[in-house]
Structure 1
Amino acid sequence: MHSFESDTTPNRQEKEHPGLKLALELGPLLVFFFANLRGEWLVSKFPVLATLGGPLLVATGLFMAATVISLIVSKIVFKHLPVMPFVSGIVVVIFGGLSIWLQDETFIKMKPTIVNTLFGVTLLIGLMFGKSLLGYVFNAAFQLTPEGWQKLTLRWGLFFLFLAVLNEVVWRNFSDATWVNFKVWGTMPITIAFTLAQMPLIMKHSIEQDTSGKP
């Protein structure tokens, strides 16, 4: 019934097609990386792409197309849209479209800043109102004490803001190629390392799930 589900709880279709799920998540980024790397070659093979602008804007256009295709396939095959990729996809289309329309690469470069700031601020504002919003995403995967959810939500909120600041530092101070490499090959390892670093907190505050079937 619901179109959106937890990003961390695989349903039956996702369990049957784990390779496809990974490809849909990473595919658009790889398209973006390849298109930026071989932008001139792509334009020589498909001259219509020249209407988009320079190599980074060509990569942006293909990134937008790959992102939309990824979300459509996710909806068809897995019967739902993962929340975070969906929100990120909306920002990709809006800011990517602005970049191409105005011929200004700034908008697509700021996309990670906007997305990470949105997630970070949302989590931290939720805490201010006594809501550990991260629990709505992760609760089906594991259960924590209220204190555990508060601490984990605070850490993820601050981490998202850290990623936003880091993106600003990279795109404003380094070349386009460096920024693209960071976006594709830097952000994910940093996120994986941070996620693994949270395991002690998760283990400390985990609640044993009742499997007896009692209400």
Structure 2
Amino acid sequence: MSDVLPTGPEPVPAPPPAKNGWLNYAIDFGPLLVFFLAYKFSSGGEGAFAATTAAIKGTVAFMVAIVIAMAVSKWKLGKISPMLWMSSILVLGFGALTIWFHDERFIVMKPTIIYAAFAALLLGGYWFKKPMLKYLLQSALEGLTDRGWLLLSRNWGLFFAALGIANHVMYEMIQAKQMSFDLWLTIKVWGVTALSFLFTFSQVPVMLKNGLAVPDEAAADKN
């Protein structure tokens, strides 16, 4: 999750806050979907130049979408989380470089930098006993203890580190012409999104063991 944990050219994925989870995911992954659709609808031509043109059109659409996502976050949630701020700055910065140099490599490089930054921040916080994920999300999972936030920070830090390494490997494969930009984008949009959802759900036992409040209905069913 941004308010939650996107990336590729998208906000980084993050665990959803206790409330408005669907909206947080829409804010995080909506701009990435916009980029994907804009790229696909613009990539009808042939040759490297056509692919680059489609990537640039997708980048422009994504930059507009991320600004809209920030506005919606401020309007509906009353805030723009530090994660969304950082992701948006990098999206706009690398998007501008992509447009200026007509080079889609900047799009592929951006997720590695985002993932590495969040991994360093979260794991550094874990080392110094600071639950950075709680501060970055600026949200509360009701009842979750500081130890629970600390464990989530560690686990998400490791997850981001793994994503960063994987994205760098794919970048090198694209450079060596062993992978296409299209395949990378498909993995980024669908593969990373699916992995983020699965990883979020895998952290539920950690949260439950560390004080996460269970809704009354769920508690009644459990009993």
TM-score bin (small chain): 0.7 to 0.9
Per-residue Cα deviation, 1:178-209 (whole angstroms, up to 9, x for no partner): 11111111111101111111122222222669
8 Å contact 2:115–2:160 — kept in the other structure?
A: yes
Q: Given the two structures, how large is their TM-score scaled by the length of structure 1? A: 0.76
Query: Quick one: distance in 2 between partners of 1:126 and 1:156?
Result: 12
Residue aligning to 1:35 = 38
Deviation at 1:89, TM superposition (A): 1.1
Query: Quick one: distance in 1 between partners of 2:68 and 2:37?
Result: 17
Query: Quick one: distance in 2 between partners of 1:34 and 1:169?
Result: 25
Structure 2: stretches of 5+ with no match in the other structure: 5-15, 174-178, 215-223
Query: Are 1:171 and 2:174 counterparts?
Result: no
Residue aligning to 1:65 = 64
Q: Identify which of 15, 28, 43 aligns with 1:25.
A: 28
Moved more, 138-147 or 96-105: 138-147
Residue aligning to 1:46 = none
Q: Identify which of 170, 183, 187 aligns with 1:182.
A: 187
Distance 1:148 1:72, change over 3 A: closer
Moved more, 167-176 or 114-123: 167-176
Distance 1:69 1:149, change over 3 A: closer
Per-residue Cα deviation, 1:25-66 (whole angstroms, up to 9, x for no partner): 333112111111121469xxxxxxx9xx52112211111111
Query: Are 1:8 and 2:8 counterparts?
Result: no
Secondary structure in structure 2 of the residue aligned to 1:140: coil
Query: Quick one: distance in 2 between partners of 1:192 and 1:21?
Result: 13
Query: Quick one: distance in 2 between partners of 1:208 and 1:22?
Result: 21
- The Cα RMSD (Å) is 2.9
Percent identity between the two aligned chains: 37
8 Å contact 2:17–2:141 — kept in the other structure?
A: yes
Distance 1:129 1:110, change over 3 A: same
Distance 1:172 1:21, change over 3 A: same
Moved more, 107-116 or 141-150: 141-150
Distance 1:21 1:158, change over 3 A: closer
Size of the aligned set, in residue pairs, is: 191
Query: Quick one: distance in 1 between partners of 2:44 and 2:65?
Result: 19
Query: Quick one: distance in 1 between partners of 2:64 and 2:91?
Result: 10
Deviation at 1:139, TM superposition (A): 6.2
Structure 1: stretches of 5+ with no match in the other structure: 43-49, 210-215
